[in-house]
Amino acid sequence: MRLFLASTSPARLATLNAAGIEPLAIAPGVDEEAAVAEREQRDGPLAPADMVQLLARLKAEAVVRDVEDALAAMRGTADGADGADGGRLSPGAADGSGYPAGSDSAARSAGADADTSGDALIFGGDSAFAFGGTIYGKPHLPERARERWLAYRGHDGVGGVGVLHSGHWLIALRDGRVVDAVGEHSQAEVHFSGDLTEAEIDAYVATGEPLKVAGAFTIDGRGAAFIDRVVGDPSTVIGLSIPLLRRLAGRLGVAWPELWNRA
């Protein structure tokens, strides 16, 4: 059973790789701000859990056509025919190895590990960090990241506490066509160090690491030193909950070991 990842997040790729899964990654191309604005205009402000679930679903759904094309290409390659991969497909090795996105070799590589049945799962995920009544996505700018970290360190040596929300959406395809989908939200508390200095904050921001991640922090990189503990599943904070993904796969009739394809 092949897993397709509707994301180009290195953290999600690394998490899946560590769990024995090498997905095929496809950039979903979803305008997240526009999607949230449209939903809020219709239904009012979204809670963090609802927002990440909305975006996770949209990302997974956005790549369905590409996955259908890729599965058809894999079957064609298995029959000795040339295939196409929809133009945005790449093997999901966290170390950057594999074929470039858009190459026919990507589809051939996918077919090489033997699953040409047309059965697959598509995972879409999204994350947001809630702190002090505000929802934080990616800061992008150094000054924003610094401002957030000054708030995270708290006061009088007591670090702040926030909640990382992670949306999960899993679509099942059988014989190359969508048959079912399930989704669920997970969350984890993040407790920051209260003795963090401004010099440490400035040095961390200068690395660029916090600029492109939800909440402006990581627990699997340099930011880990500034977080005292996580209450809940740590992989949720990284960007996808492996235990939850296993349960969602089970609800779609897929046993977790069926997804293992990484040596």
Would you call 132 exposed, middle or buried from its count of C-beta atoms within 10 A (0-12, 13-18, 19+)? Answer: exposed
Calculate mean pLDDT across residues 158-180.
96
pLDDT tens sequence across 2-39: 999 999 899 999 999 999 999 999 999 999 999 999 99
Mutual orientation of helices 64-78 and 48-62 as an angle, nearest 10°?
40
Calculate mean pLDDT across residues 59-87.
75
State the Cα angle at 216 between 22 and 162, rounded to 5°: 100
Number of structural domains found in the chain: 1
Structural domain for 44, as ranges: 2-259
Least confident of 124-128, 154-158, 195-199, 224-228: 154-158
CATH code of residue 188: 3.90.950.10
- Are 183 and 52 in contact, with CB atoms under 8 Å apart? no
State both tokens at 240: 């996808």
Verify whether residue 50 is a known catalytic residue: no
Predicted confidence at residue 240, as pLDDT, reads 94
pLDDT tens sequence across 236-248: 999 999 999 999 9
Predicted confidence at residue 75, as pLDDT, reads 78
The residue among 155 and 76 whose pLDDT is bigger is 155
- Are 204 and 216 in contact, with CB atoms under 8 Å apart? no
Would you say residue 73 has pLDDT above 80?
yes
- Confidence band of 112 (pLDDT split at 50, 70, 90): very low
> What is the overall mean pLDDT for the chain?
88
Q: Which of 66, 69, 85, 126 is catalytic?
A: 126
Predicted confidence at residue 4, as pLDDT, reads 98
- Are 54 and 39 in contact, with CB atoms under 8 Å apart? yes
- Confidence band of 90 (pLDDT split at 50, 70, 90): low
Calculate mean pLDDT across residues 51-73.
95
The residue among 120 and 79 whose pLDDT is bigger is 120
For the chain, give the secondary structure using H, E and C. Answer: CEEEECCCCHHHHHHHHHCCCCCEEECCCCCHHHHHHHHHHHHCCCCHHHHHHHHHHHHHHHCHHHHHHHHHHHHHHHCCCCCCCCCCEEECCCCCCCCCCCCHHHHHHHHHCCCCCCCEEEEEEEEEEEECCEEECCCCCHHHHHHHHHHHCCECCECCEEEEEEEEEEEEEECCEEEEEEEEEEEEEEEECCCCCHHHHHHHHHCCHHHHCHHHCCCCCHHHHHEEEEECCHHHHHCCCHHHHHHHHHHCCCCHHHHCCCC
